Chain A
């Protein structure tokens, strides 16, 4: 909580903010209520209650016949496969772009100070690359993976492959950003020491920079893999393979007991992946 030096706080800021904020909040609330067609009464009307009842009773008991479960086995495995390769591609995209998008690696800091001193053109080019990488990363991660998946389905056809590409691109953007934050946060002492003994840039990177960043790097990547499993499980809703496709089919056929089975499978899968990932992280 910030309440340090009263002389630093401008009175005008303090006095108007709550009023303006409240007014805007109320405005947004009223307008959003109207725009989002919010209608809680639906659940108390006969039609809504009937639908709710149909859904709840339809879910139980879950369909655990071997016939259905064996049918779900392949999509479940496919989900894991999609998440694995999606994350790999994300690393392949995020790592180089993250490096270029790291301020201290690309344009400033001890690696570049001596070289770029008095070379404005080269410095400008480096800055160009830096902003290009940052812009690409931000573009990749701002477009949701669902939209990527939808576009890749158009570009490469239905199936798990567009799912892999979608996760690769969207998560590449997120990983790249976090990687560059990790790289910025390293301790500079070892780097300076390496430089003073005459190591070249590549050596400084591999012996000074990378070992420091590696644990956080792996840990965050694993964590993203967990997210990728959740994402790839539902990317199928737009035709990109995995369990999502089955959920949609069962939902459209009103087979809610199958939906429940798939959700249970999904739950167990996510729990298993979380467990593996946590174990691996603990080993780091």
Chain B
């Protein structure tokens, strides 16, 4: 069983590993020169002022800003507001992830090749070209829907849903659900295309129908990984839910937006602490549940 990706990776797991090949010095130097030029160009393009940043003037400004953050404002009213925001953020991430699981599960079975048109399940079927082609249509449609959902970032979805349903936590839930639905759809699909064929074969040899094979041969294999991936995306989503409010989608982000805009630095620190505690707690909870499942 493959381990789930590290918690901070944004979508998929990097594929790598190999060996450094030798003896391409000239090419390497050229590449290096190119990269350096690229960096210099970026330095000016991104209007970076590292020297200025390290100068006493603006470094002092940052120090002053940090000093303003302290001490965090622990007055009852602020604490209550922070608590409310924390619970709301939790609710957004929870409902968003659930919605994502529902979306992913309802699409993914059409988006994995071995379930929809090729492989063991379809070997015995008479090779009628048009039937195969017809099966490809839902496959391609499901794949492209997942791609679209996944490509548009959560924050942009949030902007769109704020326009569609108005301000508040609900557009945040929709944004998380739709984007994460695309991501989970892709991850689930990879798991499905990767199942062990032996149980399927033995079920097939006993004359099980395709639905029965799906329920008894495939789902039990993939379920632990589905749950594990969903928990992992929940960890990512709690971080996103904490900032969705910056575009008007509720949660702690909304309060942070207000605190920053009104120069209430002490309250800001309280809210940041709340994010820190919430994120850490959810990480532990998710790790605990993952251990239970795997």
Q: Does A17 contact B (CB under 8 A)?
A: yes
How near does chain A come to B72, taking the closest CB pair, in angstroms?
14
Contacts of B92 in A (CB 8 A): 32, 36
Q: Does A72 contact B (CB under 8 A)?
A: no
Digitize B14-36: 1 where CB-to-A-CB distance is under 8 Å, 0 elsewhere. 11111111000000000000000
The binding surface of chain A is classed by DSSP as: helix
| B87, B151, B153, B279, most chain A CB atoms within 10 A | B153
Contacting pair A36 B173 (CB below 8 A) = yes
Partner of B165, one of A42, A143, A164, A241: A42
| Alpha-carbon gap, A131 to B62, bound state (A) | 24
Residue of B nearest to A32 (CB): B91
Q: Does B124 contact A (CB under 8 A)?
A: no
Residue of A nearest to B224 (CB): A1
Contacts of B53 in A (CB 8 A): 156, 165
Digitize B251-279: 1 where CB-to-A-CB distance is under 8 Å, 0 elsewhere. 00100110010000000100010011001
Partner of A161, one of B10, B49, B91: B49
Chain B interfacial residues counted at CB < 8 A = 71
> Which of B136-144, B188-196, B239-247 lies on the face that meets chain A?
B239-247
Contacting pair A215 B163 (CB below 8 A) = no
How near does chain B come to A271, taking the closest CB pair, in angstroms?
9
| Alpha-carbon gap, A133 to B227, bound state (A) | 33
Q: Does B88 contact A (CB under 8 A)?
A: yes
| A151, A216, A226, A263, most chain B CB atoms within 10 A | A151
> Which of B73-81, B154-162, B201-209 lies on the face that meets chain A?
B154-162
Residues of A at under 8 Å CB distance from B? 1-2, 17, 28-29, 31-33, 35-39, 42-43, 48, 51-52, 55, 77-78, 80-82, 84-85, 88, 139, 141-144, 146-147, 150-151, 154-156, 159-161, 163-165, 174, 177-178, 214-216, 219-220, 222-223, 226-227, 230, 233-234, 237-238, 241, 244, 247-248, 251, 254, 259, 263, 266-267, 270, 278, 281-284
Extra inter-chain contacts (11) besides given A151-B260, A151-B268, CB under 8 Å: A2-B294, A35-B169, A36-B172, A78-B45, A155-B61, A215-B20, A233-B153, A259-B156, A263-B151, A263-B156, A270-B151
Residues of B at under 8 Å CB distance from A? 1, 6, 8-10, 14-21, 38-39, 41-43, 45-49, 53, 58, 61-62, 65, 87-88, 90-92, 94-95, 98, 151-153, 155-156, 159-160, 163-165, 168-170, 172-173, 224, 239-240, 242-243, 246-247, 250, 253, 256-257, 260, 268, 272, 275-276, 279-280, 292, 294
